[in-house]
Amino acid sequence: MFRPGAGGTGTADVIGNGFSAPDGATDILLIGNDSRTDAQGNPLPKQILQELHTTQEGGDLTDAMILVRIPNGGHSASAMSFPRDTMVNSGTGEDKHKLTETMNRGKDAERAKLQDEGVTDPKELDEKSRLAGKQALLETIEKLTGVSIDHYAEVNLLGFYEITKAVGGVEVCLNDATKDSYSGANFKKGVQTIQGADALAFVRQRHGLLNELSRGKRQQVFMSALAHRILSSGTLANPAKLSALIDAINKSVTLDPALASDILGFAEQMQGIASGNVQFYSAPVHLVGESGQEDVTLNIAESKQFAADLLLPPQQRAQKLATLKSPTKITTSVYNASGISGLAANVLEELTSQGFQEGSSSNSETRSSSVVYYANGEQDVGKMVAESLGGLPTEVSPNLTAGSVEVYIGKDYKGPGKSNFTGAPTLRLDGLNKAAPLRTQADTGNSPITADGVPCID
């Protein structure tokens, strides 16, 4: 239930009984919500809405979803952000929908359930349905990552405004000047300090960017800049600055009760983390379709492994991510077991076009199902190739050496490369016939963003 916490902080018991299974880290789900209310549920004043370039219409769509992992006893933190348009099944229905819609779908489902049970009080309906929506989103993120989330923090539109003012603004850098009347964005090229309404416009801008992943990169850069400002400027150790920050949190942030009751304790824990030891990553999503019209998809097994790897020591994690995100280091050979002449060469061409090293292609004994074989200890490499072909099953092979993968194309294969053999191929605007590509975050530059510096982005 939503209620004011200690010092006025808005709370929502999203975690439930306050217990989550130990998994080697303190895990916080940080939500950026476009709600037009403050942390106590009061509508924002008209003058504030005007400054934020928005109105009372809309709300409760989640613009930013970030899982923060702080290893137990460690002095580092890693954050994994999820594009708002990632296609998921949240359990509130059988159909796939965008991750940003999960909270609203959960809220609407709970409201309908309560009304069927005879609940008519508007306040009870609103409080219980809103809580159910938050829980639906948290449970969906847990399913996508395999992480048992310990804390929940939700920042609304007012939060970006208040918190950035409390810390004196944050530094960001853009490769080019940009202007967007919808979000209110109006930024020059280069390094600049933003706060208040400008900070909100920076993270909300969609028009003029390449795709939703570009917007996600904006959010990562903003959060890294905010973390750098807080951790490197002495905010947490300065009573006056910390008081201003907590006051801003009270106005605009909703926390789970356990976190709300010990904000100072959490601040003390964060004091041991240097800004250079905070890294921001994008979830390993895949873009399927033509540029500008892509579906954002996510493989759960891959996402769970990615989340688990965030707890590795920074150097080891960097080495593993470098392998995962470098298809040029992986040699792929394709064997045609489908009975369709020429399919192996076509699939191999698809893989090399995505950056994989070209191996051999030949025919093999016919088999009903496709499979990707990988070397011992290289399950992630096998998954990377398998996902590039539409999500094939994988198996370990003792006959393969590190960096080599073998793909057997069975009769069930329907992935990239088959369009020239069955059905009408996709027609591109340039007049060429080619299957809609599947691209990974590697194509958009998914190197980690740290809180120790100001990277320039689009």
Assign residue 184 the CATH number of its domain: 3.40.630.190
428 and 286 within one domain:
no
453 located within any domain: yes
| Residues 134/110, Cβ–Cβ less than 8 Å | no
More confident residue, 437 or 419: 419
Phi and psi angles of residue 424, each rounded to the nearest 5 degrees, phi first? -85, 125
| Residues 317/310, Cβ–Cβ less than 8 Å | yes
191 located within any domain: yes
306 located within any domain: no
Q: Per-residue confidence at 451, pLDDT binned at 50, 70, 90?
A: low
Query: How many helices (H) and strands (E) would you count in the chain?
Result: 13, 24
216 and 124 within one domain:
yes
Q: What is the pLDDT of residue 149?
A: 94
271 and 139 within one domain:
yes
452 and 425 within one domain:
no
40 located within any domain: yes
In whole angstroms, what is the distance from residue 321 CA to residue 424 CA?
A: 37
137 and 67 within one domain:
yes
Q: What is the pLDDT of residue 197?
A: 84
The residue with tokens 């993270």 is: 203
190 located within any domain: yes
54-63, 224-233, 246-255, 432-441: which is most confident: 246-255
What is the CB neighbour count within 10 angstroms for residue 292?
Answer: 7
Assign residue 355 the CATH number of its domain: 3.30.70.2390
388 and 282 within one domain:
no
In whole angstroms, what is the distance from residue 189 CA to residue 14 CA?
A: 41
9 and 52 within one domain:
yes
Q: How would you classify residue 174: left for phi > 0, otherwise alpha for psi between -120 and 50, otherwise beta? A: beta
Q: What is the pLDDT of residue 117?
A: 96
- Say yes or no to pLDDT of 209 above 70: no
52 located within any domain: yes
Q: What is the pLDDT of residue 444?
A: 39
User: Per 3-state DSSP, what percentage of the chain is helix, strand, and coil (rounded to 5)?
Assistant: 35, 25, 40
Q: Given the DSSP bridges, would you call strands 286-288 and 295-297 parallel, antiparallel or unpaired?
A: antiparallel
In whole angstroms, what is the distance from residue 292 CA to residue 429 CA?
A: 12
Q: What is the pLDDT of residue 64?
A: 81
In whole angstroms, what is the distance from residue 140 CA to residue 103 CA?
A: 10
In whole angstroms, what is the distance from residue 355 CA to residue 118 CA?
A: 58
339 and 284 within one domain:
no
351 and 239 within one domain:
no
272 and 137 within one domain:
yes
CA–centroid distance for 248 within its chain: 25
More confident residue, 93 or 50: 50
110 and 62 within one domain:
yes
Which residue type occupies 178? T
- Say yes or no to pLDDT of 438 above 60: no
366 and 224 within one domain:
no
Nearest to 389 by CA among 411, 372, 405, 377: 372
Q: What is the pLDDT of residue 178?
A: 87
Q: How would you classify residue 80: left for phi > 0, otherwise alpha for psi between -120 and 50, otherwise beta? A: beta
Sign, Cα dihedral of 399, 403, 404, 410: positive
Nearest to 185 by CA among 85, 32, 54: 54
Q: What is the DSSP letter of 56?
A: S
Q: Which two tokens stand for residue 182?
A: 């919808």
Buried/exposed 180-204: b ≥16 CB within 10 Å, e otherwise? beebbbebeeeebebbbbbbbbbbb
Which residue type occupies 237? A
CA dihedral (403, 408, 409, 410) in degrees, to 10, reads: -150
Phi and psi angles of residue 418, each rounded to the nearest 5 degrees, phi first? -90, -10
Q: Give pLDDT tens digits for 238-279.
A: 888 888 888 888 777 888 998 888 887 787 777 777 666 788
Query: pTM for the complete prediction?
Result: 0.68
The total of structural domains in the chain comes to 2
Q: How would you classify residue 390: left for phi > 0, otherwise alpha for psi between -120 and 50, otherwise beta? A: left
Q: Give pLDDT tens digits for 74-132.
A: 678 888 989 888 999 865 455 789 998 999 999 999 999 999 999 999 999 989 998 99
311 located within any domain: no
Domain of residue 69: give its range: 2-298+447-457
In the beta sheet, which residues pair with residue 69?
27, 78
Find all residues with CB under 8 Å of 121, minimum gap 6, and list them.
none
Q: Give pLDDT tens digits for 287-324.
A: 776 666 678 888 887 788 889 988 887 777 777 766 65
CA dihedral (443, 317, 76, 284) in degrees, to 10, reads: 30
Nearest to 14 by CA among 249, 256, 252: 256
151 located within any domain: yes
